[in-house]
Amino acid sequence: MENLVSESQKASAISFFKDVQNRLLQKFEEVDGKAKAERKVWQRPEGGGGIIGVLRGSVVEKAGANFSEVHGENYPALEETYKGLPFFASGVSTITHMMNPYAPIGHMNVRLITVGDTFWLGGGADLTPFIPFKEDTEAFHESLRNACALQGSDAYKKYSAWCDEYFYIPHRQSVRGVGGIFFDHLKGDFDLLFPFVKATANAYVEVFPMILNRRKAMSYSESEKDQQLYWRGRYAEFNLAIDRGTKFGLMTNGNTEAIFVSLPPVVKW
């Protein structure tokens, strides 16, 4: 069985996740140009808590970057193997909805989970443009491809395919965007695996704001804005009906505001 991650390794992960949250919120402030992020600390009665970070502006319609660190005696497992064991979970997640329909939705999450005497790492990032641009898609994937190099020559191909599989919406019969990477249950030597998690988050912090800055000031029509709101519905459908992170947050009695920060501020069906 895997060795439990050490307390110093946990502390290192927590510190990194908090740093990513702060850097993302600063980037969102720079993209918007006027709005400032609001932070709210929350506590979980069973143990742990987190920090909600949200920015709402006239350019960045809604961006969230949340940090969490929770623990308890009974892991609410989706997998029967780990059900009922003591657990610890920490990570950072982010989602952005832009006012301009030419600017894409972006999502990223990285996390560390320990259950009983084992641990694993997971995460990923994906891009969901309403109006795709080839140069944006290529830049996004190239950044993640470089991060995946730490996991070997076939890692990007594997995790990119996993992303398309995970973010598939069955009732729409389509993937939710232009992809990215997704990985979960990475086990082994923490000191060898965590640099890849860090590289994934760092790549996103750099490439996604760059894409937003390319698109945020493009002119658009009322019709395009209206279509964007209907298209956002698919994002809401996935997060409410399918996403495992949403389910895990609710099963661990996480902060409801933090869990649903991913939902679009305005949407139509």
3-state secondary structure string across 61-102: CEEEEEEEEEEECCCCCCCHHHCCCCEEEEEEEEEEECCCCC
107 is catalytic: yes
User: Would residue 129 be called left, alpha or beta, if left means φ above 0 and alpha means ψ between -120 and 50 degrees?
Assistant: beta
> Rounded distance, CA 180 to CA 168, Å?
12
Residue 260: how many other CB atoms lie within 10 Å: 15
> Rounded distance, CA 9 to CA 132, Å?
39
Determine the 3-state secondary structure of 55 from DSSP: strand
Four-CA torsion 140, 218, 20, 195, nearest 10 degrees: 10
CB-side neighbour CA atoms (13 Å) of 233: 9
> Rounded distance, CA 124 to CA 130, Å?
20
Tokens of 197: 């998690």
Task: List, in sequence order, every residue forming a beta bridge with 64; answer none if it has no partner.
Answer: 54, 95
Q: What share of the chain is helix, strand, coil (3-state, %, to 5)?
A: 45, 25, 30
Q: Which of these is catalytic: 71, 97, 107, 185?
A: 107
Q: Contact at 8 Å (CB) between 87 and 97? A: no
What beta strand segments (E) does the chain contain? 38-43, 48-55, 62-72, 87-97, 105-115, 118-128, 168-169, 174-175, 180-186
Which sequence positions are flagged as catalytic? 107
